[in-house]
Structure 1
Amino acid sequence: MEALLPESVFNLVKPGDTVILKPNWVMEGHKYRPDEWEYVITHPAVITAVLRHVLKRLCGSGRVVIIDGPTTEASFSKLIAHYPVSMWHEIAKASHVTLEVIDLREHEWETRNDIIVKRHELPGDPRGKTEVNLRDASSEFWGHQKSNRGYHGADYDRSETNRAHDGHHNLYRVSRTVIEGDVFINLPKLKTHRKAGITCCLKNLVGINTYKNYLPHHSEGGPSEGGDQFPVDNVNARIEGPLMAFLKRHVLRNPLLARLLSPFNTLGKQIFGDTRQVVRSGNWYGNDTIWRMILDLNKVLFYANPDGSLREGTLVNAKRYIGIVDGILAGEGHGPLAPDPVEMGYLFCGTNPVAIDAVCASFMGFDPLKIPSISRAFQVSQYPLCDFNLDDVRVTVGEGEFPLANLPAELIVPCEPQFGWKGHIERQDEAHAPQD
């Protein structure tokens, strides 16, 4: 694995640096097949190979932190059991480099039938958190009209999410360790994503948050309310949405009541439909909220100082960045928590998240410009994430190099989109159609 990674991509790492490795540790395993995990989270071999390259570049001086904030209902102890943590510490010690492995979360939940029944406080980032406020036009939420019921975050308290994003202020609470780091190495697992189309480098930054209820995932309601929670004003939008909002705010926040009511969630699925068949919670191509949060987080990574202030918004001031995407065994369909495996056989490497995501989407058989987090990234004006357009992106595979627009059809490994995105993000041009 180590030999597959180009040495040149690690030239950004200098002796004495603090280097952050950020895998995708979203969950310990598949949501419905918990014993399966190799196509859900970043493979141990990828992290180990990257770590060895970084240790060589540090030359016995510096620090490495392997870090993530999994989904709050994940068990970190079960997740980390998949990884050779003892070996990582041994090879770092032999290289005279400090190594830490950190769960960034401030809370871990126990759930039953998708209902939170118990909450545990966690220490989080030992160096604390950095709160960043992207005001007005510095945020991609500037000018966005949220629905009458507002944004939905990651917890039952919707009012907290909406106070954090009030039309002028946009608050993000992220790891201070990440912000203080000299080099950020993003190590996502390539998968489809029910809310964002795909999850790759850009989306993987959700994991740098220490507190996720500040993150708007969708706008409540259907089209008539100005929301993107549901694609149409059907019975789910008219009844299920308001009912669940009421229960979350007034009932399910009580752990005892949550335990008592959790069995009834099965009845709710029978009445309103299972999420694997019914579009809800912004799980579709019309989600106009989540891409804004994703791009804001990338601005925070690139430009934020540890005290929450922002550096001058030009790319020369951005944090040093490397992206290495685990696409050897990728995920399609109901990503990110319940995908099906796809044997792609690729590692994708680069130094800009927008270019990497555009390349990865193309190799999956998707049109990057139909995925909002990618297409909108090219249009960011304040605190830009790139200084090129899609036509400038070039791909090197083996000995060949070519523009992304001329990606050979035989290199594409078509992936099934999540059903809320199917028919809306696939490449349509015959020149890139896969060959029989």
Structure 2
Amino acid sequence: PLGSAMVNLGQESAFYDKQNKEKIYGAVYHRWETIQHHSGEIQEYEISKTILSADVFISVPKMKIHKKVGVTLNAKGLVGIATNKNLIVHYTLGTPEEGGDQFPDGLLTSTEKKIIKFERWCYDTFLAKRSVWFELIHRFIYGFLYLKIAKPLGLNVPEEKRLLDAGNWHGNDSAWRMCVDLMKIIHFADANGKLHDTLQRRMFSVVDGIIGGENVGPLVPDPKPVGILIGGENLLAVDLVATRLMGFDPMKIKQFSYILSDVNSYGIKSIDDIEILSYFEDFKGCLKDKTNRFFDFRPHPGWIGHIEI
């Protein structure tokens, strides 16, 4: 209701020193908009002024897996405060050898890599124009030439590899940065989007783990009956505890390890600053327990073997 405010993090953005910004990809096809707002000293997000004007921010995320950043929870859930999702960097085109994080190195055959690059070229050339005529051309190329002719001839990328497309794997070096930036904004940006050194509002979070989500999250996860609610006044602390109870090592998830090392104070500087209250004794010491998998969530296929305890 109050409109939006542009928040420029500048050098304080986790994207400030990221290389190959000309390859970054946002939420939709017109990449030029994403690049325009993440270049040099300009590291901008369009944020709801209703949120920024609030004295108290209450977050109620689901306890589930996320394909780009490992887990959803509070940090990733902050995408909801952005009014233009295309200013949020999701991944970087290419493999790590090419300066990107779209796919792991060595996953695709040379033919599969050409197919993926051709698809992205079509997106940039036709769909990014936001023109009906260019969209019709794309429909002909993709819907007829590719789906009807090329794919039946075996020129396709297997579905198990497609699952990792668009940075859906543990090597995504882009998406975790937007989690860090959005956490900085919700904590330190005032009603007009100006950053301060002190917290600008109170926080409260309740993670809904009654029925969680595992495997191919966040959009089509398998249901995970857990029967737990996790609440607290510190978004980061709640995320760390929830992540550990999911069976993962929070320090293997980049947004959490980065925020804990940030010069800004988010209320805690290490897991030792977190006090856990629970009727279950093993939950109280979960952050220091190095063996228990607790609820044993299954990660996204692109994250298996990289974040589990």
Are the counterparts in 2 of residues 154 and 213 from structure 1 also a CA contact under 8 Å? yes
Cα distance change, pair 275–299 in 1 and its aligned pair in 2 (3 A) = farther
Q: Which residue of 1 is the match for residue 157 of structure 2?
A: 272
User: Hey, what's the Cα distance between the residues in 1 that align with 2:73 and 2:190?
Assistant: 24
Instruction: Confirm or deny that 1:169 pairs with 2:46.
Output: no
Give the counterpart of 2:54 among 181, 186, 197.
181
Cα distance change, pair 337–184 in 1 and its aligned pair in 2 (3 A) = same
Q: CA deviation at 1:296?
A: 0.3
Same amino acid, percent of matched pairs: 36
Instruction: Confirm or deny that 1:217 pairs with 2:102.
Output: no
Residue deviations 1:159-215 (CA, integer Å, cap 9, x gap)? 111110003210000111000011100000111011010000110000111111100
Give the counterpart of 1:395 among 276, 285, 302.
276
Q: Which residue of 2 is the match for residue 304 of structure 1?
A: 189
Q: Which residue of 2 is the match for residue 239 of structure 1?
A: 114
Are the counterparts in 1 of residues 164 and 302 from structure 2 also a CA contact under 8 Å? yes
Q: CA deviation at 1:266?
A: 5.2
How many residues end up aligned between the 2 structures? 296
Q: CA deviation at 1:409?
A: 7.1
Q: Judging by fraction of residues, say which structure has more helix.
A: 2
How do 1:28-67 residues align onto structure 2 when only pairs under 5 Å count? Answer: none
Q: CA deviation at 1:424?
A: 0.4
Q: Which residue of 2 is the match for residue 418 of structure 1?
A: 300
User: Hey, what's the Cα distance between the residues in 1 that align with 2:115 and 2:78?
Assistant: 30
Residue deviations 1:298-354 (CA, integer Å, cap 9, x gap)? 11111112222122x13xx33100010001100000000010011111100011121
Q: Which residue of 2 is the match for residue 144 of structure 1?
A: 18
User: Hey, what's the Cα distance between the residues in 1 that align with 2:39 and 2:82?
Assistant: 19
Residue deviations 1:266-319 (CA, integer Å, cap 9, x gap)? 5688701226754211111011111111110111111112222122x13xx331
Q: CA deviation at 1:241?
A: 3.9
Q: CA deviation at 1:140?
A: 1.1
Alignment RMSD: 2.4
Give the counterpart of 1:281 among 142, 158, 166.
166
How do 1:28-107 residues align onto structure 2 when only pairs under 5 Å count? Answer: none
Letter in 1 for 2:287: A
> SS at the partner of 1:281?
helix
Q: Judging by fraction of residues, say which structure has more strand.
A: 1
> SS at the partner of 1:170?
strand
Instruction: Confirm or deny that 1:202 pairs with 2:75.
Output: yes
User: Hey, what's the Cα distance between the residues in 1 that align with 2:111 and 2:86?
Assistant: 23
Q: 5+ residue gaps in structure 1?
A: 1-125, 428-436
Q: Which residue of 2 is the match for residue 332 of structure 1?
A: 214
User: Hey, what's the Cα distance between the residues in 2 that align with 1:408 and 1:221?
Assistant: 35
Q: CA deviation at 1:375?
A: 1.5
Q: Which residue of 2 is the match for residue 133 of structure 1?
A: 8
Q: CA deviation at 1:238?
A: 3.8
Greater RCO (CA < 8 Å, at least 6 residues apart): 2
User: Hey, what's the Cα distance between the residues in 2 that align with 1:236 and 1:198?
Assistant: 32
User: Hey, what's the Cα distance between the residues in 1 that align with 2:262 and 2:294?
Assistant: 28
User: Hey, what's the Cα distance between the residues in 2 that align with 1:203 and 1:194?
Assistant: 11
Cα distance change, pair 409–150 in 1 and its aligned pair in 2 (3 A) = closer
User: Hey, what's the Cα distance between the residues in 1 that align with 2:259 and 2:112?
Assistant: 30
Give the counterpart of 2:123 among 237, 241, 248.
248
TM-score (norm 1): 0.63
Letter in 1 for 2:14: E
Cα distance change, pair 398–225 in 1 and its aligned pair in 2 (3 A) = same
Q: 5+ residue gaps in structure 2?
A: none
Q: CA deviation at 1:236?
A: 7.2
User: Hey, what's the Cα distance between the residues in 2 that align with 1:328 and 1:409?
Assistant: 24
Residue deviations 1:232-276 (CA, integer Å, cap 9, x gap)? 153378423432222112212334415555645756887012267
Structure 1, 397-406 or 150-159: larger mean CA deviation: 397-406
User: Hey, what's the Cα distance between the residues in 2 that align with 1:216 and 1:251?
Assistant: 21
User: Hey, what's the Cα distance between the residues in 1 that align with 2:280 and 2:93?
Assistant: 49
Q: CA deviation at 1:145?
A: 1.2
Letter in 2 for 1:225: E
User: Hey, what's the Cα distance between the residues in 2 that align with 1:271 and 1:205?
Assistant: 35
Are the counterparts in 1 of residues 55 and 200 from structure 2 also a CA contact under 8 Å? no
Q: Which residue of 2 is the match for residue 226 of structure 1?
A: 99
User: Hey, what's the Cα distance between the residues in 2 that align with 1:420 and 1:386?
Assistant: 32
